[in-house]
Amino acid sequence: MAVQSVSGNTDQVLVEEHSCVRTIILNRPRQLNALSFQMVSQLLELFITYEEDSNVKLVILKGEGRAFCAGGDVAAVARDINEGNWKLGAKFFWNEFTLNYIMATYRKAQVSILNGIVFGGGAGASIHGRFRVATENSVFAMPETALGLFPDVGASYFLSRLPGFFGEYVGLTGARLDGVEMLACGLATHFVSAMRLPLLEEALFKVNTSDPAVVSAIISEFSEQSSLKATSSYHRQDIIERCFSRRTVEEILSALEEEAATGADKWLSETIQSLKKASPTSLKISLRSIREGRLQGVGQCLIREYRICCHVLRRDVSKDFFEGCRAILLDKDKNPKWEPSRLEFISDDMVNQYFSKVEDEEWEDLKLPARFNLPASAMAKL
Amino acid sequence: MASSSSSMDRVSWRAQVLTRHLQQPSSSHSSVAPVLESSVCLQYAPPELSEKFDFDVREMRQLMDGHNIEDRDWLFGLMIQSKLFCPRNSGGKVFVSPDYNQSMEQQREMTMKRIAYLLDRGVFEGWLTEKGAEAELRKFAFFEVIGIFDHSLAVKLGVHFFLWGGAIQFFGTKRHHDKWLKDTESYVIKGCFAMTELGHGSNVRGIETITTYDTSTGEFVINTPCESAQKYWIGGAANHATYTIVFSQLHINGKSEGVHAFITQIRDANGNICPNIRIADCGHKIGLNGVDNGRIWFDNVRIPRENLLNSVADVSQDGQYLSAIKDPDQRFAAFLSPLTSGRVTIALSSIYSTKISLAIAIRYSLTRRAFSVSPNGPEILLLDYPSHQRRLLPLLAKTYAMSFAANYLKAVYVKRTPAANKTIHILSSAYKATFTWHDMKTLQECREACGGQGLKTENRIGQLKSENDVKSTFEGDNNVLMQQVSKALLSEYIAAKKKKKPFKGLGLEHMNDSCPVIPAQLSSSVLRSSKFQVDIFCLRERDLLNRLASQVAERQAQGESREYAFLMSYQLAEDLARAFSERAILQNFLESEASLSVGSLKNVLGLLRSMYAMVSLEEDASFLRYGYMSTENDAAVRKEVMKLCSELRSHALSLVSSFGIPDAFLSPIAFNWIESNSWSSVHN
């Protein structure tokens, strides 16, 4: 086993080599492996190199410590912008989304071992890949609406493809899912108990093909059936279908409240609460983004999300992202003052603006690398 | 701080280098790792990788769809997410489409299940109970989206909401509205619309069903007096409908008061057919088998007096006929107004059908190759053949033109006033016929352009032909509608001449100006100028209207009736109706173009408009027949069509991408058709 640190001055990303297999380790455990600008760039470089290196057949991605990855390092992005440079923030998203795209169209199998927190950007770095292994320690969430952001990193692609309207539920409420739920809804492809992970990795190290069927068979040997908790929101598919399929955020909320009026319970009140606590602007752009994403390819999704991100960073319509960072990450008072403060104060035109081109001469839409001659296995993993 | 920002720069520079490297086409790649397959096997390359996008597709879609974009996407998504819409995976993508391999009965049940699903999710909220242009436009948008999925689903809804519901709205009064509209919107009752009979279709005035009034009980008695009076093709009647609107002659005190509409129950809530009603199935059809068309006989069926839809005429308790409109012709015209909305929706949905087929055929033509120009040379993309461009691109331009015209028709319709009724009637007749004919022509061309692949049901185009064929017949036979257009134009002409008043309305104002002069030499820039295009279209319409009027007058002078004279002038009438439609479409196009600021979008629309004009000049023999153009001019036009084809070629992908039809509603050959046909996909 050879362990290398990729970057000269820090060890935020580590790599292990085992014949045809490369294991990439997110190594920033104190920050729950939150993706820094540097990490994103390193990952991009590694993934591109491995795709072209015919000696590499399989890439394993995992996190050091108790998290897989808690997301993009948003606090750093917000700090940059507060210092006056939104374009620096945009650069971060540009690279991160490019990485997401490379993973979504990767010619070789990527196995992500999700033995811990998988939030936001962490989901973007794993869900687009071919295999996602959940464990009893997995905690998945797209918590962006509580932060004044929206589910990005291609989430409008993968959330919108979950069964029924589960994606709207997960994306709008920021609900947390455990490993079994991830498997049930398709965010994970396998469930392996954490105890058996070392054995699984050992078995994967012997892989000398990029054939997804072979890799899948190996992981399946270690997989197990595990049943959903009685309280799992996955048992609530009926209500989710009835409410989260509605046309607008307002209608979703009132459908939930109607359900609560006839039979209140903890799940319903938590769901309603999380929607009420989230940024109203975020809810509206998130719903619209997921709905558009349902009809688009992953590339188009990322291009649209990049546009939205730039508008968020420029504070063109609302400053909620900065208020969210202040309240949740910096001051930690957990009491953001959203502006506009209510759903009804947000017009369609305001929402439209997030989806339009950015009025800045130097600005351009996200340009994704052209991916030629992709094998079938590199397409549509969800 | 300084060091961190410099390391940041370094990293971002590195990322840029990598991205640039990735964006390079594969030429350098293949030298590193030669891809063996490429030389022996065809590989699918998504057209997005090689085609350019000169304008913002999103903006173009906004212009084309015109309204309720987000609502449309919501509804597309609702369908994709439900198993009821038969999502199928092919070539790594999901497609939704009805299973046309199901039996007729199964398809009918699926249609009802889909309606129930959409109903539960609130799609039909306000369709009958909400008023105003905004609600109406949303309803149109949803109806268009539903039609993109399946014509049966749209027709089944159209009968229930627009025909049954529309009849209650337009012919009924408050008591009917209060009693029926809400229950219709929530499907407590299922309505149908019994107008057509075996013996009478487009000629509604000739129907033979008879209704009398029984003063002793205060009831109407509806009867089918003979076999030719059986109601025929009644959508919803064979299986599901519980109520119908019956169109019938009304006989009061032995006098016929003409056609009236009545509400009659035909099934109970459990689906049992009511007493004195007989229903039979129309059977399997060439398309639209998800709609249960049936036949109905009425055996002296008694209904309460209140069930007469009495906005135009009423019968008092003691059996007196009362009507504010004394002229039976006008009374009849008032009855036909709900059919206008039907014609509007048919016109709109035909354009979306052409968009589906063109998007599929053009995407396929950008990925499928055939024959080489030189021995052992690479095979040529279908759309790089000028002949293939000539087959598809003019149809694309027409679809754009008609799309703008459809938006105009919609706008006039939702803002309608009683004064606009005539315009709406004429315009909806002309556009319904023109668009549905264009649809059938486009479908056939696209089917052929896809070769054998066009024959597979999963590829949609072939199936759409049989699903949409009925559009040229229902809600008014196309030929009859076009005759009505020229008849109306003739009346306008006669009225204007008689009253010595200028023409006003229907876009005929150009008749008041002096006759346009067409330049003898038609250069490319003249041909592409909107002035020339409008002039020559107006010239044709003006001359044909003059000719028709004088021919009819001549025949009348020889002692023929005006009706007979018109009938015998059908050739000119046909040419005139076409001239009117094409001129109106061109003007609608120009108005939409004028609303845009200078830029790439406007430029490409200019090309499309010129293509529309040129191909219309090329295809209608009138221009040569009546000498509006010389044969030399005609040659110049043909040359211009070729030039425009090659100029539009590079925009083909972005133009069909602007249609706003999600990939899932296209078909496997529009995407990776090699993968979708691979051996590995056989067992999946």
- Chain B contact set for A102 (CB, 8 A): 22
Mean pLDDT of B663-681: 93
With both helix axes pointing from N to C terminus, report the angle between B478-499 and B530-557 in degrees, rounded to the nearest 10: 80
The pLDDT value recorded for residue B50 is: 87
* Number of Cβ within a 10 Å radius of residue B117: 17
B73 touches chain A (CB under 8 A): yes
Distance from CA of A376 to the nearest CA of B (A): 7
- Chain A contact set for B77 (CB, 8 A): 160, 291, 294-295
What is the rounded distance in angstroms from the CA atom of residue A380 to the CA atom of residue A178?
23
A37 touches chain B (CB under 8 A): yes
The pLDDT value recorded for residue B26 is: 41
> What is the token pair recorded at A248?
């607008």
Mean pLDDT of B296-305: 98
Report the mean per-residue pLDDT for chain A.
Answer: 93
Pick from B38, B71, B92: CB nearest A376: B92
The pLDDT value recorded for residue A341 is: 97
What is the rounded distance in angstroms from the CA atom of residue B317 to the CA atom of residue B609?
60
The pLDDT value recorded for residue B84 is: 98
Residues 41-70 of B with CB under 8 A from A: 43, 45, 49, 56, 58, 70
Nearest-5° angle of CA B169, CA B160, CA B222?
75
DSSP state of B516: P
B1 touches chain A (CB under 8 A): no
- Chain A contact set for B126 (CB, 8 A): none
Of B39 and B277, the structure prediction assigns the larger pLDDT to: B277
Which residues of B are tagged catalytic? 475
Q: Judge whether residue B640 has pLDDT over 90.
A: yes
> What is the token pair recorded at B360?
């599929």
Q: Judge whether residue B11 has pLDDT over 60.
A: no
Domain ranges of chain B: 57-171, 190-327, 335-499+522-669
Under an 8 A CB cutoff, do A372 and B15 touch?
A: no
Q: Judge whether residue A194 has pLDDT over 90.
A: yes
- Chain B contact set for A373 (CB, 8 A): 26, 35, 38, 43, 45
Which of these, A216, A28, A195, A13, lies nearest to A111 by C-alpha position? A216
Which of these, A344, A358, A356, A359, lies nearest to A284 by C-alpha position? A344
* Number of Cβ within a 10 Å radius of residue B241: 27
- Chain A, nearest residue to B678 by Cα: A376
- Chain A contact set for B71 (CB, 8 A): 247
- Chain A contact set for B81 (CB, 8 A): 163-165, 245, 294
Mean pLDDT of A313-340: 92
For B22-34, how does the pLDDT look when each residue is reduced to its tens digit (9 = 90+)?
Answer: 554 444 333 344 3
Residue A223 corresponds to which amino acid? Answer: S
A380 touches chain B (CB under 8 A): yes
- Indicate the range of A81-90, A356-365, B391-400, B647-656 predicted with least confidence: A81-90
Q: Judge whether residue A132 has pLDDT over 60.
A: yes
Distance from CA of B92 to the nearest CA of A (A): 5
List residues bridging with A22 in a β-sheet: A17, A59
Mean pLDDT of B621-646: 97
The pLDDT value recorded for residue B613 is: 98
Under an 8 A CB cutoff, do B15 and A41 touch?
A: yes
> What's B422-462 look like in SS3?
HHHHHHHHHHHHHHHHHHHHHHHHHHHHCHHHHHCHHHCHH
For A77-100, how does the pLDDT look when each residue is reduced to its tens digit (9 = 90+)?
Answer: 777 777 778 888 899 999 999 999
Distance from CA of B19 to the nearest CA of A (A): 6
Say how many CB pairs under 8 Å bridge A and B: 105
- List, in sequence order, the alpha helices (H) in chain A: 37-52, 74-82, 86-104, 121-124, 155-158, 166-173, 179-185, 197-204, 212-222, 237-244, 249-263, 266-277, 280-293, 298-314, 320-324, 348-354
Which backbone phi and psi does A300 adopt, to 5 degrees?
Answer: -60, -35
Confidence class for position B35, pLDDT limits 50, 70, 90: very low
Pick from A246, A295, A371: CB nearest B122: A246
The pLDDT value recorded for residue B39 is: 45
For A244-281, how does the pLDDT look when each residue is reduced to its tens digit (9 = 90+)?
Answer: 999 999 999 999 999 999 988 999 999 999 999 999 99
List residues bridging with B212 in a β-sheet: B221, B251
Torsion of CA A291, A296, A298, A303, to 10 degrees: -80
Under an 8 A CB cutoff, do A247 and B80 touch?
A: no
Q: Judge whether residue A5 has pLDDT over 70.
A: no
B18 touches chain A (CB under 8 A): yes
Task: Please indicate whether residue A121 is annotated as part of the active site.
Answer: yes
Pick from A54, A291, A355: CB nearest B74: A291
What is the rounded distance in angstroms from the CA atom of residue A111 to the CA atom of residue A127?
10
- Chain B, nearest residue to A91 by Cα: B12
The pLDDT value recorded for residue A59 is: 98
For A8-26, how does the pLDDT look when each residue is reduced to its tens digit (9 = 90+)?
Answer: 446 899 999 999 999 999 9
For A350-360, how does the pLDDT look when each residue is reduced to its tens digit (9 = 90+)?
Answer: 999 999 999 99
In the block, tokens 């960073």 appear at A313
Distance from CA of A196 to the nearest CA of B (A): 31
The pLDDT value recorded for residue B423 is: 92
Q: Judge whether residue B200 has pLDDT over 80.
A: yes
Domains of chain A (ranges; CATH) run 13-226+270-355 (3.90.226.10)
Which of these, B47, B437, B100, lies nearest to B289 by C-alpha position? B100
- Chain B, nearest residue to A48 by Cα: B18
The pLDDT value recorded for residue B421 is: 86
Mean pLDDT of B155-180: 96
Pick from A95, A296, A370: CB nearest B15: A95
Of B336 and B106, the structure prediction assigns the larger pLDDT to: B106
Cβ(B199)–Cβ(B228) under 8 Å?
A: yes
**Mutate which: A47, A87, A294, vs B, most B CBs within 10 A:** A294
The pLDDT value recorded for residue A275 is: 98
A105 touches chain B (CB under 8 A): no
DSSP state of B197: B
The pLDDT value recorded for residue B587 is: 98
**Mutate which: A55, A291, A296, A303, vs B, most B CBs within 10 A:** A291
Q: Please spell the DSSP secondary structure of B336-377, one letter per residue.
A: THHHHHHHHHHHHHHHHHHHHHHHHHHHHHTT-EEEESSTTP
CATH T-level fold of B335-499+522-669:
Butyryl-CoA Dehydrogenase, subunit A; domain 3 (1.20.140)
Architecture of the domain made up of B190-327: Beta Barrel (2.40)
Mean pLDDT of B245-268: 96
The pLDDT value recorded for residue B27 is: 40
- List, in sequence order, the alpha helices (H) in A125-192: 155-158, 166-173, 179-185
For B584-596, how does the pLDDT look when each residue is reduced to its tens digit (9 = 90+)?
Answer: 999 999 999 999 9
